[in-house]
Amino acid sequence: MKKRIVIALGGNAILTDDGTAEAQRQAIMETVRHIADLVEEGHEVVLSHGNGPQIGAILIQQQMADSEKTPAMDLGTCGAMSQGMIGYWFQQLLKNELARRGIERQVVAMITQSEVSSTDPAFDHPTKPIGPFYTEEEAMKMQANGDVLVEDAGRGYRKVVASPKPIQIVEAPVIQDLLDAGHLVIAAGGGGVPVVREQYTLRGVEAVIDKDFAAAQLAQSIEATHLMIITGVSNVYIHYNQPNQEKLGTISTSRLEQLIEENHFMAGSMLPKVEAALQFIEADSNREAVITDIASLKGAIAETEGTRIRYDVASPDMVY
């Protein structure tokens, strides 16, 4: 049966020790082969992706080139730059892979804005480090101008910004139209560019949105049947890397909520992924979320691999 799937790709889908464009394209080529498998099976696909290393590099480049003639761009603009750059790679390479298989489909990458609330508590407690490292002297000057910086493991100081929750994907109606017309879409890269709404206008804000929460919001907005969060491991585990490590297969939402309360998942790692999965499913109990790695993507859709999260309904392999 045809499924509408939002795939949230982690940094491992792009990340490489070599930061050149060609090296990152090579990493993406392997990723798009797995995505093309789903397209070949007839599923509707929307891709979302991280941008952490790429936007970090852009911010450093902006700082190094900053001058009166070439002033550094703001964080939101840099986020849009990263969406365009990574979206271009995925758009071209996925189109090429589909053509190689004899599949004629249009692929489009969209610069996407994620609306957040100006009253989100995250704005009072910025925690997300971005950009280059600074000396203590540089950090003091920046703090005097209103920036917030923290010392980072003896390597220097880094600026931190808020990470609010997305409440709406601004371009969701257009994405819906493109899907209905049979096209493949790449959207909400890096969580989308964060904006706040002021009456009839949108305004960019200095923040970073978690890509998994943005993907969950996008999946809800376009009535996706599946949210697939791609990470570096094939399954979610409890007691990870301990002698009593336990792999999770199919799990109910109530059991997953219990595991969160028991602090089984780290805040900067698996926790936002399982929380985003729960957000997606709890808005519609007929939906399913999967957390797995890129190699297990096809098997996860076939329900043979990955951690599959479902609402609390009877299932022979469900973990309650």
Q: Which residues are catalytic?
A: 11-12, 128, 211, 273
CB 226 within 8 A of CB 306: no
Return the amino acid letter for 213. Answer: F
Q: Which helix (H) or strand (E) holds 164?
A: none
Structure tokens at 45: 């696909």
Q: Which of 310, 233, 292, 308 is nearest to 7 (CA)?
A: 292
CB 287 within 8 A of CB 227: yes
Phi, psi at 274, each rounded to 5°: -70, -35
Buried b (16+ CB within 10 A) or exposed e, 3-35: bbbbbbbbbbbbbeeeeeeeebbebbeebbbbb
Q: Helices (DSSP H) in 191-288: which residue ranges?
A: 211-221, 253-261, 271-282
Q: Which helix (H) or strand (E) holds 186?
A: strand 184-186
Bridge partners for 202 per DSSP: 197
Structure tokens at 15: 């990340």
Distance, in Å, from the CA atom of 193 to the CA atom of 234, rounded to the nearest integer, reads 29
Helices (H), strands (E): how many in the chain? Answer: 9, 18
CB 215 within 8 A of CB 188: yes
**For residue 181, how many C-alpha atoms fall within 13 Å in the half-sphere facing its CB?**
13
CB 313 within 8 A of CB 50: no
Structure tokens at 217: 């919001």
Distance, in Å, from the CA atom of 165 to the CA atom of 154, rounded to the nearest integer, reads 30
